[in-house]
Every structure is written in C-alpha cells, then in structure tokens.
Amino acid sequence: MPKFFHQNISSCAFIRRYFSLSALALLMVCFVIVGCGYSSKSLLRSNVRSIYIPIFDNDTFRRGYEFDLTRAVRDQILIRTRLRIVDKDEADSILLGKISSVTENVLIEDRKDNIVESRVAIRADIRWVDTRTGRTIFERKNIRGTSEFIVLRNETLTSSSNESFVGLAQSIVESLEEEWW
C-alpha cells in the first residue's frame, strides 16, 4: 500500500476519535447543566410585571439621601429586571423603603489624628406589596450598603455615599428575586 494511504487512514481515525470525545464532552456538559437545575428564566415573580417606587423615607439626619437611594434603586430595577416602573395607579406592586441608619467609621488616622481612610454604611428597610391584593410579597430589614473612602485621594463622604447607594440598591433588587433553592 502507498505510504500516504496509511497517513489518511490514521488521520481519519484521529478525526473520528476527536469528534467522539468532543460529542461526549458536550453531552456531559448538557447533563451537568440540566442536572444542576440551571434555568435562564427570571427569578422575579412571574405575576408581577410593574412596580411603583415612591421616594424612600429617611429616619436619619442626612437630608437628601432618600432621593439618591430611590434613584439608585430605580436605576437597578431598570438595568437588572424586566419590571416596568409605572405610576401608582398602574402598578401591580409597590416598593416601600426607608433609610434606617447612616454611619461613618474612621478606619485609619495619621499621627496627628487626621482621618486617612473612613467607611460609610447605609442601612435600609424595604417592603414590597402587591397592590392588587394588598398583601406583602416580601419584607426585609437592615439591608446594608457600604463603601470606603480615602481622604488623601480627594475622595469624600458624598462620593463614598453614592457608591454605598449603588451597592445598597443592588442588594435591594437582589432581595426581590424569589429564592430558587
């Protein structure tokens, strides 16, 4: 037999073996995905399609924070969910919230007691209500958003608070999702 004929047979066997191993690997991945209960469906309750979000209440002395947190929550709902934000009379649900505390802690001071690094923590309580039935869908207290700021980098309490609002808003939106386990 010619030499190239043996090479073609061996390369065909290699290709056949390669594709069988690839198909087996793909099949195993499919079993793992299905076996783990993976789903691409939304974790939000399917019967809620719209939400009204009034300005959060604020039980702290930091004025204006309620507007910033409400804006951050609305932005996160638009970015991360399929819910439509609508007026109160059109909404399937309403998200009520309250800023319960704002704390600032010094993390590092220099030798002259000047603040070098500090942390701001913002806590909120939420209650999600079905407007059609009046029942509470979900309620959670003490959801927390934190961030640090370094004074030497010209970071401020305001910029750090904005980061905290975004983190807190993300936690609030995550808490609206159904538990899947």
pLDDT along the chain (181 residues), means of 10: 54 63 70 58 65 96 93 95 94 96 86 83 95 92 87 73 88 79 37
Could you please report the per-residue DSSP string of 2-34? -HHHHHHHHHHHHHHHHHHHHHHHHHHHHHHHH
Which helix (H) or strand (E) segment holds residue 157: the answer is helix 157-175
**Which pairs count as long-range contacts for 108-112, CB under 8 Å and 24+ apart, including other chains?**
none
Q: Which amino acid is at 73?
A: V
CA distances from 17 to 9, 20, 21 (A): 12, 5, 6
Is residue 56 within 8 Å of 70, Cβ to Cβ? yes
Q: What is the pLDDT of residue 19?
A: 65
Q: What is the pLDDT of residue 24?
A: 67
Bridge partner list, 136: 129
Between CA 173 and CA 158 the distance in angstroms is 22
Give the strand pairing for 84-85 and 136-150.
unpaired
Is the pTM above the cut of 0.75? no
Could you tell me the two tokens for 49?
A: 């399609």
Is residue 97 within 8 Å of 76, Cβ to Cβ? no
Q: What is the pLDDT of residue 40?
A: 46
Q: What is the pLDDT of residue 42?
A: 47
Q: What is the pLDDT of residue 93?
A: 94
Between CA 152 and CA 149 the distance in angstroms is 9
